[in-house]
Structure 1
Amino acid sequence: MPHTIFGLDPLWVSTVLLVLAYVTIMTDRLNRAVVALLGAGLMIVTGILSQDEAIRGVDFNTIGLLAGMMLIVGITRRSGVFEYVAIWSAKAVKANPAGVLALLSVVTAVFSAFLDNVTTVLLIVPVTFAICRELKVPPYPFLFNQIIASNIGGTATLIGDPPNIIIGSAANLAFDQFVVHLAPVIVVVMAVQVLITHLVWGRKLHATAEDRARVMAMDERAAITDWKLLKQALGVLAAVIVAFVVARFIGLLPATIAMFGAAVLLLLDSHGRTSEEQTHHVHGRLSELEWITLFFFIGLFILVAGVERAGLLDILARKLVAATGGEMTTMAFTVLWASAILSAIIDNIPFVATMIPIIKGMAPVFGGAEHLLPLWWALALGACLGGNGSLIGASANLIVAGTAERQGVPFKFKTFTLTAFPLMLISVAISHVYLWLRYLR
């Protein structure tokens, strides 16, 4: 047991620090990276963790994977390829509003499986506004669909959503395992979402032949700003995805692959410039990293390491096992639904980071770490899909809402939640059935 300042009970000190950090993050009064780093510092200053223990608590595989993919995606987006695909999709359905609503949702989901959700919506939303203006249709249904689709699509892969990255690193789960175990149910969830939103909005959307002709006249090739960069970026991105798939067979961590891929793309992107130009160019690319997110993760990992060191998470694990009778089916469904409901209310990243040691602590009860897979998939599905439950459930939701309101499209919390929460419950119910059929019968 750690020795704390003034001899205070380390369990209570660490719990208070974690709760204060959670509450402050939820209120948005302070930047979440600042809150996490302050909490991490207090874990050390109060004696809950030594400095060495704090460093060991940081999952650098997660940090490296996030940073590497941020660089690759940031460079790739400059080619204009994502805008190209969005315009092409609208033209592929002959600019039929219902078809555009459905296909842009699918495109958003696919992008979100390989990019982070915020990047995806930042790329798709401006093109969506342009298409809606030409078709003279209300943009709200399209934006709503893209929020829902981004959170659904991000659930399907290791790199699609930060909770999956944390889970994959902590549980030593590979890219192909996420695809094999989660993609099937995500395809079903996405199909149901497209069907429901078509019934709610799609069949009511209409555009004149003249309006549709304006969209058909859009030149998707004009969206490509750098063909050379496009080829380089897509080549590196494809190689990185292939490497993720075979990573566990070649003994490489996802962070190693992502960082190496980012370094190769930076080299290709800087080729042909003078030394001074290269320095300026690389500095610009690195400045686009989401440093707030990276430092938030670092602080969060140390916070969670503190409550784990003090014994709080072990206590919670034992209580959860006792409450569910140590029965895997009950435990998995409890994790799934609790994760979904809570992730609609609070940030799912700190929630998942806290749940991981709790689930790991259950390994002896269920016969070893290899028997925890249903719990990991339940946590991933609940946390990622739960983000669709409210306007504050995920960062992408707030980004789209803010962009929409700047364009004069109201995005009210109550209006969004009245439609989104039932959709979220349906997606989690589908996941419930899937988990039971595949793992728990």
Structure 2
Amino acid sequence: MTPIAWAAVGLFVGVYILIATERIHRVAAALGGAALVLGFGVVRSEEAFYSRETGIDWDVIFLLLGMMLVVGVIRRTGVFEFLAIRSAKLARGRPYRVLVLLVLVTAGASALLDNVTTVLLVAPVTLLVCDRLGLNPVPFLIAEALASNIGGTATLVGDPPNIIIASRAGLTFADFLVHLAPIVLVILGAFLLLARFLFRSALVGDPTRADALMALDEREAITDHRLLRRSGVVLALILVGFLLQRQTGVAPSVVAIVGAGVLILLSPLRPQDLVADVEWETLLFFMGLFVLVGALVHVGALEALADVVARTTGGEVGPTLTLMLVASAVISAVVDNIPYVAAMSPVVESLVTTYPALGQDGALWWALALGADLGGNATLVGASANVVIVGIAARNGLHISFVQWLKYGVPTAAMSIAICVPYLLLRYA
């Protein structure tokens, strides 16, 4: 690599260390790193702000912004408290049952929506459930982010990297269901068992609070039935727009921001109050992170790593699939998996062209998807849903540290990848 490439890598590593050690706020670290990348000319404004390969992913930013505004309106109807009471009553106030229910709902919804939208919708319910039951919400929020990344792996629309892979490889929604959904179900079951151990300290409830919750009437939580009906219609249309993206060609970001605009027009709420609900810190952190990772793509650092993968295995199916899976998991734990997959897709395409056996049944593409989607669980910067959950927690006075996330994320990612290795080898090699 060139000296400027090594400089970009060094800068990224420095920023990552600051985020991990929390010596300065993660937003300050990300934006400061982005400023240095731009200031020293590693990337120009064209690459940082306008390039789809190396710039800020504005589709992700506006998808987040739109859904944050939508959630802000819906929150004021009282429906999240209704769902919180209802779900806790279904679980009879028992913490592990509550965790299982929230994990299954999150994973299932993430297979139909993108995982960022799902955690934005489920997190407020979780906070209310935990408040009612006197539970620490942090482990529950982390479990939901992990579950959203697992569930989102199963479908084309569930995780943004899958959309990139499908576009590059010409794969369909059905292809993802046939090849990834079966192993995702196995991993989800294993995660529920692992969660019993990982989150055991948080799964101790107060029987008195549980009894009091069972006596509540959740219907009384709804404070604005008219706004709830309007919000329900708009949200349903947004979800339909997400599901029909391939047919309509309309990006989820456009659907979300248009839906937010319509809902703001239909609601009696003041726009300035809704804007105050937006997680601006999360959006700014994403922008800085995208510029930093985009610099690594621009100088060829990620592509150099990909070439090492190709040269190491010599095109042998079993070793290449295994190395692609593990390397993607490790790298996606360090950098956000969206720009990583964007940088890696052309390399995978080249490998499939050079070694046709790797492309049989899309084998190498599935290794990339599983590694990137599931490896992102390891750290709080590895996947978009993780960053969003940390931002929601911070806004509600809850601190999730980098090290705390590792405690839950690394075992989950390791377990997931360990299950995927024999699956890939037995099915494709």
TM range, smaller chain: 0.7 to 0.9
CA distance in 2, matches of 1:96, 1:262: 36
379-388 or 13-22, which moves further after superposition?
Answer: 379-388
CA distance in 2, matches of 1:152, 1:375: 19
1:275 aligns with none
| 8 A contact 1:167–1:376 mirrored in 2 | no
1:316 aligns with 305
Partner-residue secondary structure (3-state), 1:363: helix
Cα–Cα, structure 1 residues 199 and 294, in superposed 2: closer, same or farther, change >3 Å?
closer
| 8 A contact 1:74–1:288 mirrored in 2 | yes
The yes-or-no answer on 1:128 pairing with 2:123 is no
Residue deviations 1:325-369 (CA, integer Å, cap 9, x gap) = 33454344334334545666x5x52x6534541343332122299
CA distance in 2, matches of 1:187, 1:364: 31
How far does residue 178 in structure 1 lie from its aligned partner after superposition?
A: 9.7
* Match of residue 229, structure 1, among 222, 227, 230: 227
| 8 A contact 2:8–2:296 mirrored in 1 | yes
CA RMSD of aligned residues (A): 4.4
1:245 aligns with 243
Cα–Cα, structure 1 residues 75 and 154, in superposed 2: closer, same or farther, change >3 Å?
farther
Cα–Cα, structure 1 residues 327 and 80, in superposed 2: closer, same or farther, change >3 Å?
farther
Cα–Cα, structure 1 residues 436 and 25, in superposed 2: closer, same or farther, change >3 Å?
same
| Residue segments in structure 1 that go unaligned for 5+ positions in a row | 2-7, 134-138, 271-277
Q: Report the number of matched residues.
A: 407
TM-score of the two chains, using structure 1 as the length reference: 0.74
CA distance in 2, matches of 1:107, 1:150: 12
CA distance in 1, matches of 2:99, 2:47: 50
The yes-or-no answer on 1:192 pairing with 2:181 is no
* Match of residue 15, structure 1, among 9, 13, 29: 9
180-189 or 73-82, which moves further after superposition?
Answer: 180-189
Partner-residue secondary structure (3-state), 1:106: helix
* Match of residue 157, structure 1, among 152, 156, 161: 152
CA distance in 1, matches of 2:175, 2:265: 30
1:286 aligns with 275
Residue deviations 1:14-69 (CA, integer Å, cap 9, x gap) = 22222222222222223333333333333333233232232223222222222222
* Match of residue 371, structure 2, among 363, 371, 379: 379
1:304 aligns with 293
CA distance in 2, matches of 1:217, 1:431: 44
CA distance in 1, matches of 2:286, 2:406: 28
Partner-residue secondary structure (3-state), 2:27: helix
How far does residue 238 in structure 1 lie from its aligned partner after superposition?
A: 1.7
331-340 or 67-76, which moves further after superposition?
Answer: 331-340
2:117 aligns with 115
| 8 A contact 1:39–1:303 mirrored in 2 | yes
Aligned residue identity for 2:146: N
Among the aligned pairs, what percent are the same residue? 29
| 8 A contact 1:163–1:384 mirrored in 2 | no
- Aligned 1:2-401 pairs, distance under 5 A: 9-57=3-51, 58=55, 59-95=57-93, 99-110=97-108, 113=115, 115=117, 117=119, 120-131=122-133, 133=134, 139=135, 144=139, 147-157=142-152, 164-165=159-160, 168=163, 172=167, 176=173, 180=177, 182-195=180-193, 197=195, 213-270=211-268, 281-327=270-316, 329-340=318-329, 346=334, 349=336, 353-354=339-340, 356-367=342-353, 373-387=365-379, 394-395=386-387
Cα–Cα, structure 1 residues 306 and 103, in superposed 2: closer, same or farther, change >3 Å?
closer
| 8 A contact 1:175–1:245 mirrored in 2 | no
Cα–Cα, structure 1 residues 355 and 263, in superposed 2: closer, same or farther, change >3 Å?
same
CA distance in 2, matches of 1:94, 1:268: 37
How far does residue 317 in structure 1 lie from its aligned partner after superposition?
A: 1.8
CA distance in 2, matches of 1:412, 1:31: 11
TM-score of the two chains, using structure 2 as the length reference: 0.76
| 8 A contact 1:337–1:428 mirrored in 2 | yes
Cα–Cα, structure 1 residues 437 and 90, in superposed 2: closer, same or farther, change >3 Å?
farther
Cα–Cα, structure 1 residues 178 and 384, in superposed 2: closer, same or farther, change >3 Å?
farther
CA distance in 2, matches of 1:198, 1:295: 35
Cα–Cα, structure 1 residues 50 and 188, in superposed 2: closer, same or farther, change >3 Å?
same
CA distance in 2, matches of 1:305, 1:411: 25
Structure index of larger Rg: 1
CA distance in 2, matches of 1:312, 1:205: 46
CA distance in 2, matches of 1:219, 1:312: 57
CA distance in 1, matches of 2:60, 2:17: 24
Cα–Cα, structure 1 residues 382 and 100, in superposed 2: closer, same or farther, change >3 Å?
closer
How far does residue 262 in structure 1 lie from its aligned partner after superposition?
A: 1.4
